[in-house]
Amino acid sequence: MSKILIIGAGGQIGSELTYKLRSLYGDDNVVATDINQNNLDIVNSGIFEILDAKDYDGIKSCVERHDIDTVYLMAAMLSATGEKFPEKAWNLNMDSLFHVLNLARDKFIKKIFWPSSIAVFGPTTPTKYTPQYTIMEPSTVYGITKQVGERWCEYYYNKYDVDVRSIRYPGIISWKALPGGGTTDYAVEIYHEAVKTKSYECFLKPDTELPMMFMDDAIKATLDIMAAQSADIKIRSSYNLAAISFTPKEVVESIKKQIPEFNITYKPDYRQDIADSWPKSINDSYARQDWNWKHAFSLEDITEEMIFQLNKKYN
């Protein structure tokens, strides 16, 4: 039985991955860690330890104590916060990746999942149906760390036979834990505010189209790529991954079908520039071909599920 360590288990994706992995492999086989205990649901529902993703000795000790063979490295500073703290973003995102890659190179662990992002693309990348292999000149610190990280993943695979697998997440929409510090966060906040206060001030312009995905699809993709035969994972940098694309205006139309009184205002800030530098849609044909990726949730499905779940939470 594989023993799993999740670094950054309290975050938006890390927490849902933790619930899912615990349900699949058993609470005793999944060690959830984060730098703080803010996510009490995660802390109180299975094995949890405080762990700083920048601390190599701490990660190594955790791996040895729990006999870990698989690591999901979910800790990262995202695009918007990264622009405020460029050096911190670089240090966290790169140090943590090197720590787990080196643990795999030195045979302490066998397998790594490390998420990349659509942020690897930049203003010179073709924006529509962006191919796997194309111009990549990211303009955010976060995007730079993800692009460089991808090169290192491929290097460790080629040079040291490290079994590292990665996907380029689009914006992820979910109702359990809030995202923190991303440019796509508006697509989660908008649902919370629609249900709570029936109004939202959006930090992107109404026609800003970005690639997005529901959490259930993102978790499925993560588990699918990790379960695939090693020979089927032909890309060892990171796979393009897509579900849907939409603009703030389109989410508003979708929400208004259920909450007609919902009111939106627009006040674009520095995150608009980041969004403008990213693709509008993604060509993920390699993921579909190599390990049978298929998404399930449309925008209408997402809106229905988000409003249903958030109504239970707030009303």
Kindly list the residues in this chain that would bind ligand AKB in the complex (CB under 6 A).
78-79, 117-119, 142, 169, 171, 182-184
Selected catalytic residue, list 142, 186, 200, 239: 142
3-state secondary structure at position 205: coil
d(CA 303, CA 309): 10
Question: Which residue's Cβ has the minimum distance to ligand AKB?
Answer: 182
**How far apart are CB 27 and ligand AKB at their closest, in Å?**
28
Catalytic (active site) residue 142: yes
Strand partners, 171: 212
**How far apart are CB 257 and ligand AKB at their closest, in Å?**
25
d(CA 22, CA 219): 13
3-state secondary structure at position 30: strand
Closer Cβ to ligand AKB, 119 or 233, answer by number? 119
**CA 30 distance to own-chain centroid:** 19
What is the torsional sign of CA 238, 239, 244, 250? positive
Long-range CB pairs of 82-88 (<8 Å, 24+ gap) are 82/140, 82/141, 82/142, 82/145, 82/181, 83/140, 83/141, 83/142, 83/270, 83/274, 86/141
Closer Cβ to ligand AKB, 183 or 238, answer by number? 183
**How far apart are CB 220 and ligand AKB at their closest, in Å?**
18
Tell me, letter by letter, the H, E, C secondary structure of 89-132.
HHHHHHHHHHHHHHHHHCCCCCEEECCEEHHHCCCCCCCCCECC
Closer Cβ to ligand AKB, 48 or 175, answer by number? 175
**How far apart are CB 58 and ligand AKB at their closest, in Å?**
25
**How far apart are CB 217 and ligand AKB at their closest, in Å?**
14
- Give the burial string for 156-190 (b: 16+ CB within 10 Å, else e): bbeeeebbbbbbbbbbbbbbebebebbbbbbbbeb
- What's the token pair of residue 306? 């988000």
**How far apart are CB 26 and ligand AKB at their closest, in Å?**
30
Pairing label, strands 210-214, 244-246: antiparallel
Closer Cβ to ligand AKB, 34 or 185, answer by number? 185
Closer Cβ to ligand AKB, 48 or 150, answer by number? 150
Closer Cβ to ligand AKB, 33 or 79, answer by number? 79
Give the catalytic positions in this structure. Answer: 142
